[in-house]
Structure formats: structure tokens, C-alpha cells
Amino acid sequence: MTFKIGDLSKIASTKVVTIRYYEKLGLLSKPLRTSGNYRIYSEEQKDRLCFIRRCRNLGFSLDQVRELLDLSSQKNQKCIEIDKIAGEHLLAIEQKTRDLNRLAHELRKINLSCQGGGRIENCRIIEALSPGQSI
Amino acid sequence: MTFKIGDLSKIASTKVVTIRYYEKLGLLSKPLRTSGNYRIYSEEQKDRLCFIRRCRNLGFSLDQVRELLDLSSQKNQKCIEIDKIAGEHLLAIEQKTRDLNRLAHELRKINLSCQGGGRIENCRIIEALSPGQSI
DNA sequence: CTTAATGTCTATACCTACTATAGGGTCAAG
DNA sequence: CTTGACCCTATAGTAGGTATAGACATTAAG
């Protein structure tokens, strides 16, 4: 079973240009070509792309994905490194979530204090974001 | 009271290059110069930079910041527009928070399944990230 | 006064993770 | 045999900066 780039595009929900971009970065190995110079991909390459996309959807950077791919090919090594990458990523996400929650809270306050009927001179949004305030 | 670019950099926790970048984008007006061609900033310009940074920290895009700055300079406008911008932003943030929460939840599950003691060939993280899995 | 360290200047290139576009070539169906 | 969908390469653009080079300005110490 082989695939053209458009097939992979659908399977992995990835733009065609993005697949070529991954190849250029070396995340995907160079595929075989047809006589007409079309890329043809193996199952394995398809799986690798899906892995990459799955990681990306989970918020891993391409560098992290690269590490995970490298690590996952060294099957005899301990998986503590992998655990570390995933753990750090989780911490970063949790931090980000906290920040966003704080931010949403502030915006909700702003929206409440500005019901659209007033003038800007009375609008607290500018005030709220001005220096010296601690929202 | 005037400031050199390095002062502003510290006050607003912004890299010097970034301040110049904002100037190039027209978000900050061109400051006066010393005889030695150093930029000198007024209080007002300092406040404007702080406002920009504050908005950025709250997740507004530079385009949105520009909008807010424009609006805030026309004090007679109704604040319905500001309300709209903030409201749109709030929605986006809430969506993002939901996404991140989902993501953190998945990662937590994955992390729990692998305590780093095993071998990569058996690593549940890699397993979970591989295609065909539904973690 | 000099010297060294630091700060600042302009200009350009680079970063991530793609996306868009131009100008072509390939292939299968009707 | 032509039409349309697909594919190719190459280049440039996006946001929001960051990094670097090479030169000039300022400041503190000796």
C-alpha cells in the first residue's frame, strides 16, 4: 500500500505544503518518486507523519517532536527521557492555562464594566490596562 | 522626566530591539533624539509602551492593540467598539482554555501510564502518540 | 585624561510553523 | 484531445519578535 502526497494530506489532516515542509526539515525521510516525479509514501512514512501531527496537536514543538522520534527509535534505551519531555510539556500547558484563566477573568470584568452605552472617557478598559493599575 | 531606551526596556520589561520594532510598526511615535542620536522618551511615550505591553500580556494581537490605541485617542467614541474587541477576545481565550484543558488532561493520562522506569520499546507515551491509538 | 565597559545606533538576517503564489508538469476521465 | 484535478519546484510572506555585525556614544574607574 502506497500513498500520494494528497492521500497523506487527507489521512493526516495536513496541508500538502506542510508535508513537503516536514520533508525539507528532515522530519520525514525523502520518499520514492514515480516516473512522473510524484512522491510516493509507504505505510511507515504515513505512520510517521501521523505521529508528528498527533504530537503537534498535543502542543509539542517540532524540536520536541524530533526528540521524541529520535528517542522512539532507540528501543533499548530507558524511557525516562521521554517521560521528561512529556512532563515538562504538561507543566508548561498547566501554566498557560492558569494564565489564560486569569486573563479571561479580567476581560469578563472589563466587559461588565463597559456595557456599550457609555463613552470611552468613562470606559474602564483603557483604565484597566493603563500603567499603575494592578488588575 | 525623560528616558533612554534602556530605561524603558527595564520599566516595561521589553527588549530594546522590540521597542525599536514597535516604533517601526508605528505603534510608538518617533521619539526625540539626543545630540548623540540616542532616543529620548517622554512619560507619555513610556505610558504608551506600558499600555502596549500590558495588552500583549493579556493576549491582544498588535492589530488589536492598534485598534485600542486608536479608539482611546478618540474619547468621544462610544465604548461599544472597545467592548466588542474585548468580547471577541474573551471568546477566543475561553476556547483556548478549553483546548488546553483537554490537552493537559490527555497528557496527564499519558504521563501517569509511564513512570520512566521502563524501556522505550514498551513506553506507553510513544504508544499513546502512535497512530491508531485513541488515548 | 585615558581606557574599558556598557549602552546605543542602523541594518540585515534569522526564528517558528507554516501558508500563499507563480509558473509549470502529470494523469485520468469523458 | 482536452479539461480539470493533482503534483512539482521555488520563492516570498505571515506574526511578533530575536540575533548579529560593525560602528558610535557615554560613563565609571584608575
pTM of the model: 0.74
pLDDT above 90 as % of chain A: 40
Question: A103-107, B79-83, B129-133: which has the minimum mean pLDDT?
Answer: B129-133
| Cα–Cα dist A126/B62, whole Å | 16
Residue A51 beta carbon within 7 A of nucleic strand C: no
Residues 6+ apart with CB under 8 A from A102: none
> If you search the block for the grid coordinates 499513546, which residue do you land on?
B128
Strands laid side by side in the B32-33 sheet: B3-4, B39-41, B32-33
The DSSP code for A74 is -
Residue B41: strand pairing partners: B3
| Cα–Cα dist A100/A106, whole Å | 10
Question: A2-6, A16-20, B84-88: which has the minimum mean pLDDT?
Answer: B84-88
The string of DSSP codes covering B32-70 is: EE-TT--EEE-HHHHHHHHHHHHHHHTT--HHHHHHHHH
Mean pLDDT of A31-54: 94
Q: Provide the total of helices (H) and of strands (E) in chain A, helices listed first.
A: 6, 3
pLDDT at B99 over 80: no
pLDDT at B20 over 90: yes
Q: Give the residue on A whose Cα is nearest the Cα of B55.
A: A129
Question: B21-35, B42-56, B73-87: which has the minimum mean pLDDT?
Answer: B73-87
Nearest by CB: A75 against B90, B110, B120: B120
